[in-house]
């Protein structure tokens, strides 16, 4: 049986949490391989709502969850999330949550710098969540990160904190912000160390054993391809690679581990924060999509910008993300629209182009070329078989397949776990 890697193909918030939760019932282990607690996955199971940020969605299904080395971890946020889901009846312990001991840690100074720099950008803000993810990844690449394993060595921790402060305090001071003392940082780390270290392990080694036993591994991506630091709408992106190729690197399992790559896409498009959005609807239709889809960020609570499905960006995500099949979510949100639309290309400076430009100025100037199709009056909400879908909805799905070059292998028709239509089982490869 194949492993499965789930990634977003738009700007995040495509409903990955539900799909991963649904697939997790047939997996043995679920792995997060990038991002931090800027990701938000909302799961609805038997009417109960779970909001996860760092924990792999598989914990709701009682599966072993893994936070891989490609993730940046705020230990305070992780402990708070474990406590919160515990109050909902989910018991997360070192037996069912493995955290790579090489994960870089997000500290309070990272969040402070993140927020200060975003404020200093003024009208050029990129829409960061302000939770310190970017500065933590910078420290990782700059070889000054404090990693989870460092909490075991007080003598290592002291000189690494000194090095960290030599970098961060001048930046904070230049932005008019409070600086941090060695004692403050060490006190914070010494407080969280005994609580988080029990979860630390050689995750790569345990995952290798799982693979050798022939057990199924589900890799869970955060954010989405168009937020990838290399392939997304730079600089309005996240600070990590979100494509499926990162699953091997961010877990320590290597490039052959990804298996079937399932790309998640909404039947329309949303975006949180700043950045180009060619199909954005700032009218009554956009408002209607937002209200019907309950489009508010899981992490930030900010209203999501809404627009028509962009097949050009989705096709790009399919190619650079290595997507084998699409999972189309929130088709039911389009129920009752007189017509629906798909972006099939762009107009830039009076000329048609069929690929999204790389430079931010050109990205801001593109206009969508829309193909309109008749909508459908019938309800798709709760449909669990292809035969239950109205003809026009099926035509819409087929057109998305044609334009993106990827088959729709799974269709979600409500937030509930079982309201799902499966055309092809990703675990069958």
Which residues does the annotation place in the binding site for substrate? 298-304
3-state secondary structure (DSSP) of residue 367: strand
Pairing of strands 217-220, 4-8: parallel
Q: Of 13, 74, 114, 228, which residue is the catalytic one? A: 13
Note whether 373 and 340 are within 8 A (CB).
Answer: yes
283 has catalytic annotation: no
Other C-beta atoms within 10 Å of 395: how many? 15
Identify whether the C-beta of residue 339 lies closer than 8 Å to the C-beta of residue 374. Answer: yes
Residues 6+ apart with CB under 8 A from 202: 100, 101
The token pair that represents 124 in the structure block: 């050029």
Q: CB atoms < 10 A from the CB of 48, how many?
A: 10
Binding-site entries for GTP = 12-18, 40-42, 304, 330-332, 412-414
Question: For residue 224, with 0-12 CB atoms within 10 Å meaning exposed, 13-18 middle and 19 or more buried, which class applies?
Answer: buried
- Residue whose tokens read 């309950």: 294
Does the annotation mark 202 as catalytic? Answer: no
Residue list for the binding site for IMP: 13-16, 38-41, 129, 143, 223, 238, 302
Radius of gyration of the chain measured on its C-alpha atoms: 22
> Which helix (DSSP H) or strand (DSSP E) does residue 210 occupy?
helix 203-212
| Annotation marks residue 208 as catalytic | no
Q: Annotated catalytic residue: which of 41, 110, 168, 231?
A: 41
Sequence ranges of the binding site? 12-18, 38-42, 129, 143, 223, 238, 298-304, 330-332, 412-414
Catalytically annotated residue among 37, 63, 110, 140: 140
CA-to-CA distance for 225 and 245, rounded, in angstroms? 11
Alpha-carbon gap, residue 24 to 218, rounded angstroms: 7
- Numbered residues of the known binding site for Mg(2+): 13, 40
Helix 154-174, helix 133-141: angle, nearest 10: 120
Residue 37: partners with Cβ closer than 8 Å, 6 or more residues away: 53, 54, 73, 74, 77, 78, 81, 106, 131, 133, 299
Max CA separation in the chain (angstroms): 67
Alpha carbons 147 and 100: distance in angstroms, whole number: 10
Q: How far apart are CA 332 and CA 268, in angstroms?
A: 11
Paired with 169 in beta bridges are none
Token pair listed for 230: 């290399």
- 99 contact partners, CB below 8 Å, separation of at least 6: 66, 67, 73, 78, 148, 196, 199, 200, 201, 203
Question: Cα–Cα distance between 372 and 342 in angstroms, integer?
Answer: 7
Q: What is the DSSP letter of 280?
A: B
* Active site (catalytic) residues: 13, 41, 140
């Amino acid at each position: 049986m194949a492993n499965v890697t789930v990634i977003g193909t738009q700007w995040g918030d495509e409903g990955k949490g539900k799909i991963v939760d649904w697939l997790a019932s047939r997996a043995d282990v679920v792995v997060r391989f990038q991002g931090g607690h800027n990701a938000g996955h909302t799961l609805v199971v038997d009417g109960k709502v779970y909001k996860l940020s760092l924990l792999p969605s598989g914990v709701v299904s009682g599966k072993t969850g893994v936070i891989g080395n490609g993730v940046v971890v705020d230990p305070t946020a992780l402990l708070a999330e474990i406590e919160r889901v515990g109050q909902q009846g989910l018991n997360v312990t070192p037996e069912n949550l493995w955290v790579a001991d090489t994960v870089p840690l997000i500290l309070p100074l990272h969040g402070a710098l993140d927020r200060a720099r975003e404020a200093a950008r003024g009208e050029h803000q990129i829409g960061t969540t302000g939770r310190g993810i970017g500065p933590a990844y910078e420290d990782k690449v700059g070889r000054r990160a404090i990693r989870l394993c460092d909490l075991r060595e007080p003598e290592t921790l002291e000189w690494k904190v000194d090095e960290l402060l030599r970098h961060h305090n001048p930046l904070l001071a230049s932005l008019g912000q409070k600086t941090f003392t060695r004692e403050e940082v060490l006190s914070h780390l010494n407080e969280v160390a005994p609580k988080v270290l029990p979860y630390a392990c050689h995750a790569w080694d345990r995952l290798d054993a799982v693979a050798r036993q022939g057990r199924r591994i589900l890799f869970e991506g955060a954010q989405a391809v168009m937020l990838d630091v290399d392939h997304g709408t730079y600089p309005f992106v996240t600070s990590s690679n979100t494509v499926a190729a990162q699953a091997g690197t961010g877990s320590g399992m290597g490039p052959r581990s990804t298996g079937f790559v399932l790309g998640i896409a909404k039947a329309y498009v949303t975006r949180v924060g700043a950045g180009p959005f060619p199909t954005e609807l700032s009218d009554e239709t956009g408002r209607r999509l937002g209200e019907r889809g309950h489009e508010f960020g899981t992490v930030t609570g900010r209203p999501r910008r809404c627009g028509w499905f962009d097949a050009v960006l989705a096709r790009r995500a399919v190619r650079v993300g290595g997507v084998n099949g699409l999972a189309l979510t929130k088709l039911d949100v389009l129920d009752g629209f007189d017509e629906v639309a798909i972006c099939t290309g762009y107009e830039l400076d009076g000329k048609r182009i069929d690929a999204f430009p790389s430079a931010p100025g050109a990205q801001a100037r593109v206009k969508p070329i829309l193909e309109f199709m008749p909508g459908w009056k019938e309800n798709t909400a709760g449909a669990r078989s292809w035969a239950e879908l109205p003809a026009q909805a099926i035509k819409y799905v087929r057109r998305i397949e044609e334009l993106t070059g990827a088959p729709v292998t799974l269709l979600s028709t409500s937030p509930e776990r079982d309201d799902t239509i499966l055309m092809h089982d990703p675990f069958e490869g």
